[in-house]
Structure 1
Amino acid sequence: MRPAPPATPFDDLLSGEALEVHHPTGSVQLLDPARWRAGPDPTDTDVVRRCTGPTLDLGCGPGRLVRALRDHGVVAWGVDGSAVAVQMCRRRGAPVLHRDVFAPLPLEGCWQHVLLLDGNIGIGGDPDLLLARAAALLATGGTLLVETDPDPGISWTGSLRFPAATDPSSTRWARVGIRALRDRAARHGLTVRDRRPARPGRGDIVEMARSRSPVVVC
């Protein structure tokens, strides 16, 4: 049996209130679990309509997008390292894997769409590693949908500091604006195909297609 990921600061945040994260850049990032727990908004609905085949939501949280995709008739699974997120997904009827996104996952190289929304391009604090991981999950011609930072020029990596965390520097994170994302995408065989504004106060939803992949029997 695969061991479950260790507890994360997101466990408490998911069932709590919004939290402001202060960055060394001087900016403030709002983490709002109430929005993650809510139903899909117009931006989510647009993302769902653009997913026409098997979809994997990395860092799916409480599973609002996975549930919306399933309701739309799309095969979808979430992946999250938070035990609380996994419990919320299952209560919602959203299929989910309790794993680190860098751990082995089913059907690698066969997913038609992979999602990195709600700032999840920051997972692990290494956007290049995460983009390479997402690209490896996609089938040739599949698409990766990423929500960028509201600041188009930002390219920041560091640690999120949760006030209640035992080790305030334990959660590596990143923020990536549209300009940095375009530059990084090309390194991993990803071509920007579309860009649309996200919800107010957020960045853009960028759709990238995988132009090449190893031979995988799906």
Structure 2
Amino acid sequence: MTATAWRADPYTEALRTGRGPLFLRRRDGWLLPLEVERWCERPDSADLTVLRRCQGSVLDIGCGPGRLVVALLARGRRALGIDVSPEAVARTLRAGGTALLRSVFEPVPDEGGWGTALLIDGNIGIGGDPAALLRRAAEVTAPGAVLIAETSAEDEDADERVEVSVVNGSGERGAPFPWARLGARALCGHAAGAGWTPARRWTAAGRSFVELRGPSQRRGA
């Protein structure tokens, strides 16, 4: 259902044109603006703080139009974006990035070998189950890897699971799907159960980020 929702026309059209407005809409009418224009531009000052903290090869989970993947490749890093939106993957490829049409819950190349995993632009919400997503991120990354997640800048204790739809400024709506919204403190609370240790938290340009570190050895090793 999630993959189908992100392939719906409002999201696809926004990525194709590089313009919003676009929102995640909760059933009660609450709207979360999606920053399509920023996603389709070059990395901003907040993104650069993320890029500087990447180590080794980088898997960008939910890469969108690929600005981070392209920037990482330009810096000489091996990087791959995965996304369930065909338009996101196509736009990444057109920009000179590398990307696959793939959910993180499906097999990915170099499974268990990535040095860094990224969950930026709210992608900690993928699947509506942060604990499951963090466990999966631990599976696809190497021992001692880095995970960098962008969290809610408004509420560090936010920890909600909701059903949302992608909707544009004209009210056109995609299929509903599960999503989660997490603040920094809540994310750190979920991290331990998946084997991640909080390493640092920071804000930049009004955005909030958390860096997690994976264990030096896999469980059971």
Q: Fold-level match, TM-score > 0.5?
A: yes
Q: Which blocks of at least 5 consecutive residues in structure 1 are unaligned? A: none
Letter in 2 for 1:213: R
Match of 1:121 among 115, 119, 124: 124
Match of 1:63 among 66, 73, 84: 66
Letter in 2 for 1:209: R
**SS of match in other structure, 1:85:** helix
**SS of match in other structure, 1:77:** strand
Q: Which moved more, 1:14-23 or 1:80-89?
A: 14-23
Bigger RCO of structures 1 and 2 (CA < 8 A, at least 6 apart): 2
**SS of match in other structure, 1:104:** coil
**Does residue 189 in structure 1 map to residue 162 in structure 2?**
no
What are the within-5 Å matches in structure 2 for residues 1-218 of structure 1? Answer: 6=4, 8-9=7-8, 10-15=11-16, 16-23=19-26, 28-150=31-153, 151-163=155-167, 164-165=172-173, 167=175, 169=176, 171-200=177-206, 202=207, 204-211=208-215, 212-213=217-218
- After superposition, the C-alpha distances for 1:11-58 in whole angstroms (9 at most, x for unaligned) are 233234122434468854210111110001111112112113100000
- After superposition, the C-alpha distances for 1:102-154 in whole angstroms (9 at most, x for unaligned) are 11001111100000000000111111111111111111111000001121111
What is the Cα-based RMSD across aligned positions, in Å?
2.0
**SS of match in other structure, 2:163:** strand
Q: Which blocks of at least 5 consecutive residues in structure 2 are unaligned? A: none
Q: Number of paired residues? A: 208
**Structure 1 stretches of 4+ moved >4 Å:** 24-27
- Find the aligned partners of 1:85 and 1:21 in 2 and give their Cα distance: 17
Deviation at 1:67, TM superposition (A): 0.4
Q: What is the TM-score when the length of structure 1 is the normalising length?
A: 0.88
**SS of match in other structure, 2:166:** coil
